[in-house]
């Protein structure tokens, strides 16, 4: 993005440094997704949505976002604030509620990195910079002296990314009956099979697999040789992963593209001829099956 010329030099310097480290915002988005999943701790708890967290855990999310952003980008510790970026002191503030950031007295006058993300069916996130000057803050504060941004402060935010899509949590995209059917089997392997049978055509992140499997080595439950790929093959279902050959198949079938740690299942049938929506797998042509079409055994996927 282009930083307006009227923005103060320190905000420009910090913005330029961050954009240089993450031009697309994908690294920040991944940190936010991973941090929320870290809080859910689905592998041990089976939790997958924000309102399942305790109040103390929700409060802790901001600290985890700060820690994980610093780990990802190797920001230097600040002398008075959280980070030092481009030799500028920067305070980091996260909220699941847009404009819900609480600015402490010690951050007044400094630049605040403000981060927002909500984990819903179609989640989004935003990331901006603002000077926490007195004129940008509300008059009243809480008992700790923390204040929110007033309207002038909100209008002064320099958004580096605004309402960008966050990697989805597929369990929040499915209806309650479907999620119950996925989570009801006693066996983790059977739950994973249900997940990929019912979430066809949707990106399934690593965190969701961990939540559904609730086992060590949970990704093993997705693979061939006894995992979901083997179990669902007779039902005509293939499970694509992040491998380049799998990505090529997803593109040919005109499906969403699996990223790092992602999986995506789809039921396929033989295609009569090549063309849009057709992929060559194991030497044969395949397309996405229609709901009422007969089931045929799925092809073997390339290993890489």
Q: Is residue 284 part of a domain?
A: yes
Q: Give the CATH number for residue 57.
A: 3.40.600.10
Q: Is residue 2 part of a domain?
A: no
Q: Is residue 241 part of a domain?
A: yes
Q: Is residue 234 part of a domain?
A: yes
Buried b (16+ CB within 10 A) or exposed e, 12-43: bbbbebbeeebeebeebbbbbbbbbbebbebb
- Cβ atoms of 32 and 207 within 8 Å: the answer is no
Q: Do 209 and 241 share a domain, yes or no?
A: yes
Which one, of 215, 257, 291, 244, lies nearest residue 26 by Cα? 257
Distances (CA, A) of 250 to 104, 125, 257: 47, 26, 6
* DSSP H/E element including 112: strand 111-118
Token pair 């402490």 in the structure block, residue = 104
Q: Do 174 and 161 share a domain, yes or no?
A: no
Q: Do 133 and 44 share a domain, yes or no?
A: yes
Q: Do 158 and 18 share a domain, yes or no?
A: yes
Question: How many structural domains comprise the chain?
Answer: 2
Q: Do 114 and 229 share a domain, yes or no?
A: no
pLDDT at 5: 67
Q: Is residue 225 part of a domain?
A: yes
Q: Is residue 180 part of a domain?
A: yes
pLDDT at 141: 67
- Cβ atoms of 85 and 20 within 8 Å: the answer is no
Q: Is residue 296 part of a domain?
A: no
What is the token pair recorded at 279?
A: 């992929």
Q: Do 253 and 230 share a domain, yes or no?
A: yes
Tally the residues of the chain: 304
Give the SS3 label for residue 100: coil
pLDDT at 191: 96
The pTM of the full predicted model, rounded to 2 decimals, is 0.89
Q: Is residue 209 part of a domain?
A: yes
Angle between helices 176-183 and 188-198 (to 10 degrees): 150
Q: Do 27 and 88 share a domain, yes or no?
A: yes
- Cβ atoms of 35 and 115 within 8 Å: the answer is no
What is the token pair recorded at 177?
A: 């009956």
Q: Which of 165, 200, 226 is the last residue of a domain?
A: 165
CA atoms of 297 and 226, how far apart (whole Å)? 16
Q: Give the CATH number for residue 213.
A: 1.10.10.10
What's the maximum distance between 2 C-alpha atoms anywhere in the chain? 70
Can you list the alpha helix ranges (DSSP code H) found in the chain? 9-21, 26-40, 42-45, 55-73, 151-155, 176-183, 188-198, 206-213, 228-232, 244-252
Per-residue pLDDT of the chain (304 residues; tens, 9 = 90+): 666 667 789 999 999 999 999 999 999 999 999 999 999 999 999 999 999 999 999 999 999 999 999 999 999 999 999 999 999 999 999 999 999 999 999 999 999 999 999 999 999 999 999 999 999 999 876 777 899 999 999 999 999 999 999 999 999 999 999 999 999 999 999 999 999 999 999 999 999 999 999 988 888 888 887 789 999 999 999 999 999 999 999 999 999 999 988 999 999 999 999 999 999 999 999 999 999 999 999 999 987 7
Q: Do 195 and 221 share a domain, yes or no?
A: yes
Tell me the pLDDT tens digit for each residue of 161-184: 999 999 999 999 999 999 999 999
Q: Do 184 and 154 share a domain, yes or no?
A: no
Q: Do 204 and 153 share a domain, yes or no?
A: no
CA atoms of 240 and 258, how far apart (whole Å)? 7
Q: Do 129 and 176 share a domain, yes or no?
A: no
CA atoms of 36 and 124, how far apart (whole Å)? 13
* DSSP H/E element including 84: strand 83-85
pLDDT at 199: 97
pLDDT at 218: 86
Domain that holds residue 138: 9-165
Q: Do 153 and 69 share a domain, yes or no?
A: yes
What is the token pair recorded at 203?
A: 């990106």
């Amino acid at each position: 993005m282009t930083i307006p010329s009227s923005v103060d030099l320190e905000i420009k310097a910090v913005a330029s440094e961050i954009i240089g480290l993450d031009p697309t915002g994908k690294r920040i988005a991944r940190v936010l997704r991973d941090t929320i999943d870290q809080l859910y701790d689905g592998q041990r708890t089976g939790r997958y949505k924000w309102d399942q967290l305790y109040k103390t855990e929700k409060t802790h999310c901001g600290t985890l976002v700060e820690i994980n952003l610093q780990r990802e980008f190797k920001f230097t510790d600040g002398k008075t604030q959280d980070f030092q970026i481009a030799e500028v002191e920067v305070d980091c503030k996260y909220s699941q509620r847009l404009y819900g950031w609480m600015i402490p007295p010690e951050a007044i006058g400094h630049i605040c990195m403000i981060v927002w993300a909500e984990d819903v069916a179609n989640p989004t996130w935003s990331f901006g910079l603002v000077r926490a000057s007195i004129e940008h803050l509300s008059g009243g504060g809480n008992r700790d002296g923390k204040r929110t941004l007033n309207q002038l402060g909100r209008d002064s935010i320099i958004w580096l990314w605004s309402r960008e899509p966050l990697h989805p949590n597929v369990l929040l995209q499915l209806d309650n009956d479907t999620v119950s059917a996925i989570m009801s089997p006693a066996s983790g392997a059977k739950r994973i099979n249900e997940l990929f049978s019912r979430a066809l055509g949707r990106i399934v992140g690593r965190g969701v697999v961990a939540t559904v499997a609730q086992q060590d080595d949970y990704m093993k439950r997705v693979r061939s040789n006894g995992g979901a790929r083997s179990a669902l093959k007779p039902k005509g279902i293939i499970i694509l992963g992040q491998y380049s050959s799998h990505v090529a198949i997803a593109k040919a079938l005109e499906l969403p593209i699996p990223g790092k740690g992602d999986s995506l299942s789809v039921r396929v049938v033989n295609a009569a001829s090549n063309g849009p929506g057709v992929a060559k797998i194991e030497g044969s042509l395949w397309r996405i099956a229609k709901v009422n079409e007969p089931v045929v055994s799925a092809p073997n996927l390339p290993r890489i």
